[in-house]
Amino acid sequence: MSSLSAHLPALQVVLPLLSAPFAVLLRHGGFAFGIVTAGAWAAFACAIGLWLQTGEAGIISYHIGSWPPPWGIEYRVDRLASFVLLLVSGTAAIVLPYSRASIEHEIPRELHYLYYAMFGLCLAGLLGITITGDAFNVFVFLEISSLSTYVLIALGRDRRALAASYRYLIMGTIGATFFVIGIGFLYLMTGTLNIVDLGERLRTVEDSRPVLAALAFITVGVSLKLALFPLHQWLPNAYTYAPSAVTAFLAATATKVSVYVLIRFWFSVFGETLIFEKLPLPQILLLLSLAAMFAASFIAIFQDNLKRLFAYSSVGQIGYITLGMSFDSVNGLGAAILHLFNHGITKAAIFLLIGGVVLGLAKNSAVPNSRGVPAGAVPPAPTFDRLAGLAKRMPLTCFGIVLAGLSLIGVPGTAGFVSKWYLILAAMEAGQFWIVAAILLSSLLAIAYVWRFVEVAYFKPAPEGTTKQEAPLGLLIPAWLLVIGTIWFGLDTSFTVGTATEAALQLVKAGR
């Protein structure tokens, strides 16, 4: 099967992409589930294969249609790409089995096959963004994943899901259009779209205005997609009202892949000299990251809806990733890549577990609502007044949320600690000790919002007549796999830290 391994880069995207039309053709929720899940698992297998290959061969280049780059579209897998591919396809492979049990209560049955088709497309789009070596192709895959994301969010039962999806559509399209304007300027200046070729040719026209405009457009456009602090307005509502499985998948992958695009363009295309020496970009990014870490985490503390709380926490955590990027050092970039992965699995675990909570609330309509909202078709939101004494009802779910919450705070022994540790090391290496203090202080805010959940779930008395009613196993097993993952990658860091460091080294070496 040596020929198969040579085609892994194509199969990585094609298999989930093919699963989507098959799901539409089959028109049956169960079959569609089977084929899209098979596609996601196959993609995960491909990602593992590519990770092993990049470990040996360094960079893999695959020529679509046998047209050599820079004329044809090249699929290019380096260490960073394979790491992100692993995160995206792995999350999909875990979230899809979860969906089976979860969307049963959230989406009308006759729409299930379309849900799976959209999921397959979204996965293919995200994998495509990561793997492609062609700048315009990035835009195409970005739109494939975005359009399917808007649909997935709009599938939420609450009508606010529609408004959230619409808002995301407007913001996301502006972001993608900004991005494509930037690509246009680059193409005008260099006549090429291949990312590696762009990087080489830009050296000669580095100082021209169109290149600076391109940098501005691409940075702002991608920042919209990755929800960098002042551009995060679409995120909280979209995460809050989307179906649980969708929220988990998006939180772990969509913003992370956008971060990947920003890293790719900053380091592989524009190059470090332009970004870090001629422009005040790192300073701006540093300030915005700090603002995200503090402001978003602070807003999170005052949310009453659990999903919304962790959505704001996501905005804050993205701040840590961009903070790592702003250091202009291998360690800083490595820490950013590391946090991208660790935060991805942590947040996915939390949102999957909250999905179980939402399901429990919907089933247990006997939970009295103090303010008397008329019970409609909309499931009750996981607000704190409904969660009192939740630990009695769902001990495993609550324990999982607490463990993942510890990872958000950065308690030793969890994945979040590892990435924050490397972030702090990078800050100390840069000699900026006030940033170390800022990282520690903002972690205090994370303690505050995680504590709010702990207090309500463990220390508030449960309503009378509460019985133990754990989430179904179909929800618990995938979620706990991710929780165990956050602990595992907190204790055994050889895989994550090793790959992240190699990826950062590769990027910085190519960028200089």
Partner 1 sequence: MSSGGLPEHFSYIVTVFLMVAGLFIVIARGNLIKKLVGLSVFQTSVYLLYITPGKLLGGTAPILSPQFTVYSNPLPHVLILTAIVVGVATLALGLALAVRIKEAYGTIEEDEITAADNAVQDVEGVKS
Partner 2 sequence: MENDLVLRVVGKLLIPFILLFALYVQFHGDFGPGGGFQAGTISAAAIVFYALIFGLDKARRIMPDRLVEAMLASGVLIYAGVGVAGLLLGGNYLDYFVLDKDAVHGQHRGIFWVEVGVHITVCGVMLKIFYMFASRGQDGEE
Which residue among 14, 169, 349, 476 contacts partner 1 (CB under 8 A)?
Answer: 169
Given the complex with partner 1, which of 153 and 348 has the nearer CB atom?
153
* Amino acid, single-letter form, for residue 260: Y
68 touches partner 1 (CB under 8 A)? no
Based on the shown chain and the rule CB under 8 A, indicate whether residue 141 belongs to the binding site for partner 2.
no
Per CB under 8 A, does 95 bind partner 1?
no
Query: Quick check: 25 binds partner 2 (CB under 8 A)?
Result: yes
Radius of gyration of the chain (CA): 22
> Is the CA virtual torsion 212, 214, 217, 218 positive or negative?
negative
Query: What is the footprint of partner 2 within residues 44-83 (CB under 8 A)?
Result: 62-66
Dist CA 389 CA 386 (whole Å): 9
Q: Is 151 in the site for partner 1 (CB under 8 A)?
A: yes
Supply φ then ψ for residue 273, to 5 degrees.
-60, -45
Q: What is the DSSP letter of 106?
A: T
Whole-angstrom CA distances from 489 to 29, 200, 346, 365, 417 are 34, 36, 10, 38, 10
Contact call for residue 20 and partner 2 (CB under 8 A): yes
Smallest separation, CB 5 to partner 2 (Å): 13
- Under the binding rule (CB under 8 A), the answer on residue 136 touching partner 1 is yes
- Residue 159 binds: one of partner 1, partner 2, none (C-beta under 5 to 8 A by kind): partner 1
CA distance 434 to 259: 25
Characterize 318-346 residue by residue with b for buried, 16 or more Cβ atoms within 10 angstroms of its Cβ, and e for exposed: bbbbbbbbbbbbbbbbbbbbbbbbbbbbb
Residue 59 CA to residue 41 CA, distance in Å, equals 23
Per CB under 8 A, 502 contacts partner 1: no
Question: Cα–Cα distance between 512 and 495 in angstroms, integer?
Answer: 26
Separation of alpha carbons 242 and 47, rounded Å: 27
Could you tell me which stretch among 11-19, 167-175, 261-269, 439-447 binds partner 1 (CB under 8 A)?
Answer: 167-175
Q: How far is the CB of 39 from partner 2 (least distance, A)?
A: 12
- Binding at 308: pick from partner 1, partner 2, none (beta carbon under 5-8 Å per type): partner 1
**Closer residue to partner 2 in complex, CB, 32/228:** 32
Does residue 170 interact with partner 1 by CB under 8 A? yes
Least separation in angstroms between residue 10's CB and partner 2 is 4
Residues 183-242 that bind partner 1 (CB under 8 A): 184, 187-188, 193
Query: What is the 3 state secondary structure string of 153-203?
Result: HHCCCCCHHHHHHHHHHHHHHHHHHHHHHHHHHHHHHHCCCEHHHHHHHHH
List of residues contacting partner 2 (CB under 8 A):
7, 10-11, 14, 17-18, 20-22, 24-25, 27, 62-66
List of residues contacting partner 1 (CB under 8 A):
136, 139-140, 143, 147, 150-151, 154, 159-160, 162-163, 165-166, 169-170, 173-174, 177, 180-181, 184, 187-188, 193, 302-305, 308, 371, 373, 381, 383, 385
